[in-house]
């Protein structure tokens, strides 16, 4: 293999050498997954390109990979940009949870939350596979009302959740957060901002906090009552 590129003529009879030295280099082989590829190509050549279809269009599994001499590697490296890892919606719910969105594939994550209704304060909890309880959430929150001089702040230590994007008086809160190292066995950090409005004015919330445990979290929950909206999680690496 490795003879370069050749344009074949219409009606040309291909020899076994043509197939081995040109077509195998020029074609992209498509496989349903690593098992199917490994069965078909037991000894890949450096520079081979294949395409895996085991995943949705935004999945980290689907895409082009090349053999670098030691392993199959994505042509577009994981972590080079935002990649959707999960989302969830709810209508008049007590919680909206995105499960299995944090893994070792990415170090840090972006969480975007958009709500159209809530009848109580919204709080945030990190999730393991089956549970979103726990404590040691430490955070500080500050707010400023847009168009007025009103400001305020709140500090909490060893709480059961982080303060979320909106209180019982807010309407249509939207928020974006960065979650650092949720799946690492170390402290998890959060930083983010909420924009919302209530009967008085529009306002902005800033949340900074950390979760003082070494638990490797796999998901995130937003809790309230009458909660309607969507939460989407994206992975990225620094």
pLDDT score of 232 more than 90: yes
Mean pLDDT, to the nearest integer, of 139-156? Answer: 86
What's the rounded mean pLDDT across residues 148-169?
88
Where is pLDDT greater, at 83 or 19?
Answer: 83
Whether the predicted model's global pTM rises above the 0.75 cut: no
pLDDT confidence band for 5 (50 / 70 / 90): low
pLDDT tens sequence across 13-34: 767 676 666 565 556 778 888 8
**pLDDT mean over 202-226:** 93
Give rounded-to-5 percent helix, strand, coil for the chain.
Answer: 10, 50, 45
As a whole number, mean pLDDT of residues 150-168 equals 90
Residues 123-149 have a mean pLDDT of: 87
Q: Which pair of tokens denotes residue 23?
A: 């077509």
CB contact set of 27 (below 8 Å; sequence gap of 6+): none
CA distances from 225 to 52, 88, 171 (A): 42, 16, 13
Q: Which domains does the chain have, with CATH numbers?
A: 16-74 (no CATH), 83-236 (2.60.120)
Q: Nearest CA to 162 among 201, 203, 111?
A: 111
Q: How many residues are listed for the chain in this entry? A: 238
Secondary structure of residue 212 in the 3-state scheme: coil
**If you write DSSP's letter for every residue of 48-102 in order, what string do you get?**
-EEEE-SS-TT-SSSEEEEE-SSSEEESS-TTSS-EEEEEEEEEEEEEEEE-S--
Cβ distance 218 to 126 under 8 Å? no
Q: What pLDDT is recorded for position 79? A: 46
Structure tokens at 166: 């909106």
Greater pLDDT, 50 or 207 = 207
Rounded to an integer, what distance in angstroms lies between the CA atom of residue 139 and that of residue 154?
8
- Cβ contact 50:30 at 8 Å: yes
pLDDT of residue 57: 44
User: What pLDDT, on a 0 to 100 scale, did the predictor assign at position 7?
Assistant: 67
């Amino acid at each position: 293999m490795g003879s370069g590129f050749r344009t074949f003529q219409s009606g040309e009879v291909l020899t076994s050498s043509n197939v081995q030295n040109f077509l195998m280099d020029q074609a992209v082989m498509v496989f349903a997954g690593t098992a199917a590829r490994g069965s078909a190509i037991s000894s890949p050549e450096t520079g081979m390109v294949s395409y895996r279809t085991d995943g949705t269009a935004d999945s980290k599994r689907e895409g082009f990979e090349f053999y670098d001499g030691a392993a199959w590697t994505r042509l577009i490296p994981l972590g080079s940009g935002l990649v959707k890892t999960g989302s969830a919606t709810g209508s008049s719910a007590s919680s909206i949870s995105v499960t299995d969105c944090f893994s070792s594939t990415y170090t840090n994550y972006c969480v975007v939350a958009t709500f159209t209704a809530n009848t109580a304060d919204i709080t945030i909890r990190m999730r393991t596979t089956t549970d979103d309880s726990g404590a040691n959430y430490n955070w500080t929150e500050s707010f400023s009302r847009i168009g007025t001089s009103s400001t305020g702040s709140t500090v909490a230590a060893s709480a059961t959740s982080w303060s979320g994007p909106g209180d019982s008086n807010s309407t249509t809160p939207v928020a974006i957060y960065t979650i650092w190292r949720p799946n690492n066995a170390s402290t998890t950090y959060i930083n983010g901002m909420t924009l919302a409005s209530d009967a008085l004015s529009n306002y902005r919330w800033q949340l900074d906090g950390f979760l003082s445990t070494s638990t490797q979290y796999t998901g995130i929950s937003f809790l309230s009552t009458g909660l309607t909206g969507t939460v989407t999680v994206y992975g990225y690496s620094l």
